[in-house]
Structure 1
Amino acid sequence: MEGLFFNIDNGYIEGLVRGYKNGLLTNSQYINLTQCDSLEDLKLQLSSTDYGNFLSNVSTALSTTIIAEKLNDQIYKEFRYIRAQATEPLAKFMDFITYGYMIDNVALMITGTIHERDRSEILERCHPLGWFETLPTLSIATDLDSLYQTVLVDTPLAPYFQDCLSVDDLDDLNIEIIRNTLYKAYLEDFISFCQKELPSPSDEIMTRLLQFEADKRAINICVNSLDTELSPQEKSKMLPDVGKLSEQSFKHQLIEAGDLEQLKIIITGIGEYKNFFDDGGASGSNKNLEDHFYEHEMNLCRDAFTQQFTISTVWAWIRSKEQEVRNITWIAECIAQNQKDRINNYISVY
């Protein structure tokens, strides 16, 4: 029934997003990129794709940093254009997407500040989708309470900070705990919004996509905390209460696991995740856990595009586009470092 009225508000945007998706690099275009001998050759090959002359105004020598920056700028421009056309609930949905980038930017700014890095350098590394007006003033805060009261209280992140304000010392470990606690609250809020406000099948698809995002974060938290002094209670506070690994039996086992082998047994017990710890040695691909995350996410995004009348394609498109940026940056770095034997270790988007 929802499909009857979907095109009234969202038909143009879905068509636009699907057009952007069709502009993603094909396998043959990736092969052309991997044959390049220099970054100038790479620039020439990209100019024959939908990226066009996106590097034409670069006056300095090309570098992977510049290429990545320009690629991300294009994502930002396309995202902002879609957001400008959106009505509710798509407008709020797209705002929710930006909150994740805001959290990463806040963590980056705080970390850079405590290590006394140059503020302009930190700001340059912030993701444009996570920008908000008071972001540059984060560097003046000396503790989390003042940071919240003077900067973050008027941002969309404010409700997520209620479980973080008890942290006194802003060291690297506590900043990471804050970031993961914020993400936990954010993902739970985002899934709740999708389930309550989005029509079918958008709600079902986004629940599946966000549940994997939650599981991915839970796995990373548990793996990275193995050699730390974090207690099971502290881990539990950071693990999202959504996702396949959020079931009480799985969650308890995850936080109590004492080594990587135990974690592998728990995680691979879920059918979809059974290959996440395979290193691909036999095939020569040398995949790590992060590669498996990206590969599984691209499979979910491709599935999302098989559905009609759904705004979940916006999420699937931006995640696919980000993977494409990682792929191009990886290829560019391999060319710049003359590591052509590793140049094919990118994740297929199509």
Structure 2
Amino acid sequence: MTTRQLGKQGPAVSALGLGCMGMSDLYGPADRGESIATIHAALDAGIDVLDTGDFYGMGHNELLIQEALQSLPREKVKISVKFGALRDPAGNWIGMDGRPAAVKNALAYSLKRLGTDHIDVYRLARIDPQVPVEDTIGAIADMVKAGYVRHIGMSEAGAASLRRAAAVHAISDLQIEYSLFSRGIEAEILPVCRELGIGITAYGVLSRGLLSGHWSPERHAGTRDFRSISPRFQDGNLERNLALVEALRGIANSKGISVAQAAIAWVLAQGEDIIPLVGARRRDRLTEALGALDVELDAADLQAISAAVPTDAVAGNRYNDHAMALLDSEHP
């Protein structure tokens, strides 16, 4: 496994990370045994970043990770945790809490569920508009000093918030959606991250499965699946987006690789400071994603991919209107 530096202040990590959300929430039912086997397979392959959130399945995902790691040395893995998203018993989203007291409370519960004495990267899931970002980052910094957190990250933060946060404490990385279908960070956020020495952990590199090459117009997301309300999967938009996938498939076929491998390799090629998170829930999908590490895209390949999937060609926003309004990254 090749490694990359997670920002100037962060650790060296595997070039791919494993996003564990779908093992517990938002993409329909998942098989617990297969999920744990997938985590083990990822670690065996050299992946050492596991990304989770305390609100994924309301703690279920952290408990799943604890079960998967219970017989393994703690230093074998770096755990990245998002916190602050509030949910009700029905699973609805009811706000964000970035208050300093909430930071420390959420951290205490995550440490217990994960069965660990520290979290490697801790980050607020979304900027809380009611709390100055300096206060939230300052509270995490207190937990760094106390030894409970190793590094501070951010999630879906805009350029101004990144600058304000970095003035309080070194930020290891920004977790944000980045793929052939979601390139909004390229205009301002990515340059600011590079100026400040902040790495990128890119989620959604397969655009919730759209760029996997395995989605079809006949496939329908279930009622508990995020994609059932995602604009990019709605009638009209879905067909246009899958046409782009087919254009990418032609390039992938010419190189003897899968669509998913082409999409992940494209993200890897955008800079050594970018670590894609792959959301594999099964070992076969993980194996496919790992194959992207062996793909070399030259300038001609990258030009062909850009022509097949132009920057603004995707149909539909990456979230519905309500969720888009909560993204600091979308409101400079």
Give the structure with the higher percent helix: 1
TM interval, short-chain normalised: 0.3 to 0.5
Q: Which has the larger radius of gyration?
A: 1
What TM-score, normalized by structure 1, do the two folds share? 0.32
Give the structure with the higher percent strand: 2
What TM-score, normalized by structure 2, do the two folds share? 0.33
